[in-house]
Chains A and B, each alone.
Chain A
Amino acid sequence: MTKPLLTVRGLVKHFPIAGGLFGPKKVVRAVDDIAFDVMDGETLGIVGESGCGKSTTARLLMHLMDPTAGEILFDGAKVGTPDLSLTEYRRQVQMVFQDSYASLNPRLTIESSIAFGPQVHGVPQREAIERARDLLAKVGLEPSRFAGRYPHELSGGQRQRINIARALALRPKIVILDEAVSALDKSVEAQVLNLLLDLKDEFKLTYVFISHDLHVVRYMSDRVMVMYLGKVAEIGPSEAIFDDPFHPYSAALTRSMPTMDPDNRTNEAPLFGDPPNPIDPPPGCRFHTRCSLAEGVCAQREPVLTRAAELHDVACLRSEPGSGHSAAPAVAA
């Protein structure tokens, strides 16, 4: 694998919420100390259930909100330093949102929406418009038919193509796709996924692909990061995560996918109950309350991300040498 393009270290985001009038101030631990790399040219999938912090991570990566702690390095340079201004960083990293309609200004024509970004970065208007029309063709929309239209005149799939074109207008290296195909109909979703793969090849893009649809994540991603309650549970090659996961949560997640086999339906739910509230996460390993392999130590000791196989890290006491869990490997001498 190549060098890391994006490096995330110790990223934390806590949202304060109003406690009772005299109650203690509470925080939602949306993202709680995560670290990972995004390699140049790969697609990193992020999966997890609601409240796991995957969307917050996307917004933090995009610098749409300030992290409580931690840093993000792009190509080795820290964002917001003289080496790499925030404006320059935003040219390099772009994002596609889930709601295709809400992410387009209803009062702007399609080409104006796409051309806005380049104009902000000093591209003359005419050139920006030309670039917008080129991109429209690239995302499969006839420029002469669509450039002058408004968002409400288009279908969801067409709008999402435009959002992709808008993200590409700054010629970024990384595109963050936050549930970008989740709202589309299945027959349209396949078209957009194909388009994303084509564009990745053509523009040598790196994707961070966030979705709750495990089939789609598996199809799109080279590596997958599984998040649970603001923590990284496991990160590794896509096949390994889906076929041979180390973390009990990753295993439960993949076994929750519908079987597509009427003769071998799922007969027992891999997990019971819902994910706990990130306001008050369980102590120790956050998954221990739902984990069938949990032991006493899991409620006390917080697992750290440990290398379990090549390029494959897992945060589980079962894989952590000397953790005290009965399945844990012995400490290497």
Chain B
Amino acid sequence: MAIPPLVDIRDLHVTFTGGPKPIRAINGVDLSLERGETLAILGESGSGKSVTLRAMLRLNPEKRTKVEGSITVGGKDVLALGSKDLQAFRGRDVSMIFQEPALALDPVYTLGHQIAETIVKHDGGSWDDARKRALDLFERVRIPSPERRLDNYPHEMSGGMRQRAMIALALACNPKVLLADEPTTALDATVQIQILLLVRELQREFGIAVMFVTHDIGVAVEVADRVAVMYGGRIVETGPIRDILNAPRHPYTIGLLKSRAHGAMTKGQRLDAIPGSPPDLANLPPGCSFAPRCKLALPACSESTPDPVEVGSGHMARCFRTEATAPVPA
């Protein structure tokens, strides 16, 4: 028997019921993550990529959210955790970094204090040891003059350094899984690449599994082994990054790659854009949610939702027309 994956998400449905109409943010997501693997979840706003991530830590507002399906992390049934266990689970089993460090960092405490406090709270031990570990973490995330920086408040640091400090905080309790919710989107290009490299390094060093949410294929390429492309609350294609990049099989992935402006284009050449706009989650079309924008759509696409089709080793596409998207042999 194979070892079960570290993270196993099965048939996850998340519906927000707070508004006048239920919003079906996630409609049947299956996802697994192996130890030490980096998976990028790629999608546009409203594709459900962040909601999936938040569901793993149960960060979506519980009263206004209906969650169905199962999420297992290291054998723990996340959806069944009691509030005490959930608290221990957050940070120790799974921790998260955000686009805005302001969400994770407390402005009134120094960074050293925050990290040490987290360590003492989760693992016990003395403040001195915790403080030493905080210093060690700051060194690991390559913060220059870490000793001095530990006594800084979040606002005293630049955006990139804050992001590093947040990563240090997330790693404080040696989590098995690191969730990253667009941590580089708000950063400048030269800082973004530093953080991406850092995530890669830490992943190698700590053997941590990373789930990295992004809207930018380029970012996914820099960090991930595997990519899951989300659209309308479903994973429409998943596979090794090379396969997705070189031989995408879902029309949405194909369209996304083709519509990118890239260096090899001649001046004035028009982009091969996907027509239309992303679906309204309160009003999802029946069948494949990409069908209304899809060039290859058949009437059947608007009637029932396609199941994932295996199109290569570990490469699945949720499409009825995978035969039409197969690469032409050269």
User: When A and B assemble into the complex, do they touch directly, with CB atoms less than 8 Å apart?
Assistant: yes
Could you list which residues of chain A lie within 8 angstroms of chain B, going by C-beta atoms?
49-50, 155-158, 185-191, 193-194, 197-198, 212, 214-216, 218-220, 222, 242, 252-253, 256-263, 265-275, 277
26 A–B contact pairs at CB < 8 A?
A187-B255, A187-B273, A187-B278, A190-B261, A190-B272, A190-B274, A191-B273, A212-B188, A215-B218, A216-B261, A219-B262, A253-B190, A258-B196, A258-B222, A260-B218, A260-B262, A263-B242, A265-B222, A268-B197, A269-B193, A269-B194, A270-B193, A271-B190, A274-B158, A274-B159, A274-B188
* Chain B residues, Cβ within 8 Å of A272: 194
* Chain A residues, Cβ within 8 Å of B255: 187
Could you list which residues of chain B lie within 8 angstroms of chain A, going by C-beta atoms?
44-45, 144, 158-161, 188-194, 196-197, 215-219, 221-222, 241-242, 245, 255-256, 259-263, 265, 267-268, 270-275, 277-278
Closest Cβ neighbor of B223 among chain A residues: A265
Give the docked Cα–Cα distance between A216 and B262 (Å): 8
Q: Is the CB of B277 within 8 A of A265?
A: no
Closest 5 CB pairs between A and B?
A258-B218, A219-B261, A190-B273, A190-B259, A49-B188
Number of A-B contacts (CB under 8 A): 131
Give the docked Cα–Cα distance between A35 and B241 (Å): 44
Give the docked Cα–Cα distance between A219 and B265 (Å): 7
Give the docked Cα–Cα distance between A185 and B45 (Å): 7
Give the docked Cα–Cα distance between A261 and B263 (Å): 13
Q: Is the CB of B160 within 8 A of A273?
A: yes
Closest Cβ neighbor of B44 among chain A residues: A185
Q: Is the CB of A193 within 8 A of B190?
A: no
| Distance (whole angstroms) from the CB of B219 to the closest CB of chain A | 6
Given contacts A155-B278, A186-B215, A215-B260, 18 further A-B contacts (CB under 8 A): A158-B277, A185-B44, A185-B215, A185-B278, A186-B216, A190-B259, A193-B261, A219-B271, A256-B189, A256-B190, A256-B193, A257-B218, A258-B193, A260-B262, A262-B221, A273-B158, A274-B191, A275-B190
Give the docked Cα–Cα distance between A185 and B276 (Å): 12
* Chain B residues, Cβ within 8 Å of A263: 242
Q: Is the CB of B221 within 8 A of A261?
A: yes
* Chain B residues, Cβ within 8 Å of A157: 277
Q: Which of B189, B194, B256 contacts A49 (CB 8 A)?
A: B189
* Chain A residues, Cβ within 8 Å of B221: 258-262, 265
Q: Is the CB of B245 within 8 A of A212?
A: no
Give the docked Cα–Cα distance between A186 and B193 (Å): 20
* Chain A residues, Cβ within 8 Å of B245: 260, 262
Q: Is the CB of A187 within 8 A of B259?
A: yes
Give the docked Cα–Cα distance between A260 and B262 (Å): 10
| Distance (whole angstroms) from the CB of A278 to the closest CB of chain B | 12
| Distance (whole angstroms) from the CB of A24 to the closest CB of chain B | 20
Q: Is the CB of B44 within 8 A of A187?
A: yes
Give the docked Cα–Cα distance between A269 and B187 (Å): 14
| Distance (whole angstroms) from the CB of A77 to the closest CB of chain B | 30
Closest Cβ neighbor of B280 among chain A residues: A155
Give the docked Cα–Cα distance between A222 and B271 (Å): 17
| Distance (whole angstroms) from the CB of A224 to the closest CB of chain B | 13
* Chain B residues, Cβ within 8 Å of A261: 221
Q: Is the CB of B259 within 8 A of A186?
A: yes
